[in-house]
Amino acid sequence: MATKHELPPLPYAYDALEPHIDEQTMRLHHDKHHLAYVNGLNKAEDMLKQAHSSGDYAMVKHWSREAAFHGSGHFLHSIFWPNMAPAGQGGGGQPSGDLANQINADFGSFENFKAHYSAAANAVEGSGWALLVWEPETQHLQVLQAEKHQNLTQWIVTPLLVLDVWEHAYYLKYQNNRAAYVEAFWNVVNWADVAERLSAARS
């Protein structure tokens, strides 16, 4: 708790994911929404630290909720940005190597995985995410929906590929057509980043 959380810079330009994800959405999403999660997490941790000093835990439920909401928002967005890359320059295509083998083993095929992940992303409600995760207990990949991302904090799984489907992530360009946004996402998935995360989760 001693260190302040900071907004990580985007690993590419704001317009680098055009036309699939537009520059204005990226500017607002990264500079405003993600920053608000960072600030909210720092505030919640400050208040919890004050409780350590004062011994007054009357607001622990409130600040724990704030920390979970903003912390999950911060950490998931920090995965989401490097999970993407400009189309044709690291983004899009299909996974290879160990990641591809594990996807085939757990979903039957890449097409099965893509259909499953897209369906989860299209259907989830609320502060929603679709997630490909590594489940260490079973050594398998899973696709999850997060309806309230603050509920993720106690899970054991390691997120590998996450897709933000809260309306701020796509509404400027896609309005109510979330499915078109989800379909466009596949053009900018950075499979090398996803493979690195799988490798790290396994080691």
Which spans of this chain sit near Mn ion (rule: CB under 5 A)?
164, 169
The residue sitting closest to Mn ion, measured at its beta carbon, is: 164
Q: What dihedral do alpha carbons 52, 54, 59, 63 form, nearest 10°? A: -40
CA dist 34 and 42 (Å) reads: 13
Least distance to Mn ion from the beta carbon of 49, Å?
27
In the complex with Mn ion, which residue's Cβ is closer, 102 or 127? 127
In the complex with Mn ion, which residue's Cβ is closer, 84 or 169? 169
In the complex with Mn ion, which residue's Cβ is closer, 115 or 123? 123
Least distance to Mn ion from the beta carbon of 145, Å?
15
CA dist 25 and 43 (Å) reads: 26
In the complex with Mn ion, which residue's Cβ is closer, 99 or 163? 163
Least distance to Mn ion from the beta carbon of 73, Å?
7
Q: Where are the alpha helices (DSSP H) in the chain?
A: 23-27, 35-54, 60-80, 97-107, 110-123, 171-174, 178-185, 191-202
Least distance to Mn ion from the beta carbon of 40, Å?
13
